[in-house]
């Protein structure tokens, strides 16, 4: 097992949902944290650098990563997790929704890795990207969301080839439905009733931590996980 105590992790989209669950679990294991979200919530965690940071702004994410590395002496882990979703027929999606999904989910992931990697090189590092089942299969009424998630998966797979020999592992985590605020009002449903039977944010966070805790001689490239109530689509 890899001991995470004393490692430093940057998590984007850390203010709630899956990102907050990952942050809390890593903090319990002794990690130092850099937490990025627009609200800048530090979740009340003691060993954390947190500030308002929109992942669409490369300068803002670089500043947060630099401050995190300065306080804790480097960065070992990045979890690009910030994401938004809007579902519906392709032509019905607004221009704002198109841009937001591509910019936050895909560009925000590129930016988070780009900002953390200089602080990771020369150490044993991990990139654990919160992608989705929508990054593995084309799903109707989720075309642009799928495009952003396939992009994340491709980016992380390509970086695995590029960074493996430098001791950096790259993992895609691809959940099905998770009961968070994600996409409420934006196609998933208007109330939290739409989330019945889905996995919890903690279920997904445990998979992230599992990947990080594997011994360094192995790496998990991709995990797909679903609630029992959800089909596997072949």
The residue ranges that bind ligand NAP (CB under 6 A) are: 12-19, 36-39, 54-56, 81-85, 104-105, 130, 132, 175, 177-178, 180-182, 201
- The owner of tokens 């903690």 is 202
- The owner of tokens 């592992």 is 169
| Cβ distance to ligand NAP smaller for residue 105 or 156 | 105
Q: C-beta of 70: minimal distance to ligand NAP in Å? A: 21
Task: Look at strands 77-79 and 168-175 and give their pairing.
Answer: unpaired
Q: C-beta of 57: minimal distance to ligand NAP in Å? A: 8
Type and span of the H or E element at 122: none
145 catalytic? Reply is yes
> How far is the C-alpha of 125 from the C-alpha of 168, rounded, in Å?
4
| Cβ distance to ligand NAP smaller for residue 153 or 168 | 153
> How far is the C-alpha of 83 from the C-alpha of 19, rounded, in Å?
10
Q: C-beta of 55: minimal distance to ligand NAP in Å? A: 4
Tokens found for residue 71: 């306080």
**What values do phi and psi take at 8, rounded to 5?**
-115, 130
| Cβ distance to ligand NAP smaller for residue 54 or 63 | 54
| Cβ distance to ligand NAP smaller for residue 29 or 107 | 107
| Cβ distance to ligand NAP smaller for residue 123 or 234 | 234
Nearest-CA neighbor of 208 among 29, 15, 6? 29
**In Å, what is the CA distance from 114 to each residue of 47, 78, 127, 172?**
23, 10, 11, 17
Q: C-beta of 3: minimal distance to ligand NAP in Å? A: 26
**What values do phi and psi take at 4, rounded to 5?**
-90, -5
Q: C-beta of 106: minimal distance to ligand NAP in Å? A: 10
Q: Catalytic residue numbers?
A: 145
């Amino acid at each position: 097992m890899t001991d995470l105590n004393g490692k430093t992790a940057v998590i984007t989209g850390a203010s709630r949902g899956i990102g907050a669950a990952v942050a809390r679990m890593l903090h319990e294991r002794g990690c130092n944290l850099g937490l990025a979200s627009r609200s800048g919530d530090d979740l009340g965690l003691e060993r954390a650098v947190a500030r308002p940071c929109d992942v669409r702004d490369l300068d803002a994410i670089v500043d947060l990563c630099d401050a995190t590395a300065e306080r804790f002496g480097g960065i070992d882990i990045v979890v690009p997790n910030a994401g938004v979703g809007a579902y519906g027929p392709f032509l019905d999606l607004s221009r704002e929704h198109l841009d937001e999904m591509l910019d936050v989910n895909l560009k925000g992931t590129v930016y988070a890795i780009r900002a953390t990697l200089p602080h990771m090189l020369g150490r044993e590092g991990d990139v654990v990207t919160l992608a989705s089942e929508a990054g593995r299969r084309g799903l109707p009424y989720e075309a642009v969301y799928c495009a952003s998630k396939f992009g994340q998966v491709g980016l992380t797979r390509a970086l695995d080839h590029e960074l493996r020999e430098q001791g950096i592992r790259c993992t895609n985590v691809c959940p099905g439905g998770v009961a968070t605020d994600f996409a409420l009002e934006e196609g998933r449903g208007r109330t939290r009733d739409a989330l019945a039977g889905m996995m919890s944010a903690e279920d997904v966070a445990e998979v992230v931590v599992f990947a990080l805790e594997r011994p360094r001689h192995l790496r998990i490239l991709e995990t797909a996980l679903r609630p029992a109530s959800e089909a596997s689509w072949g």
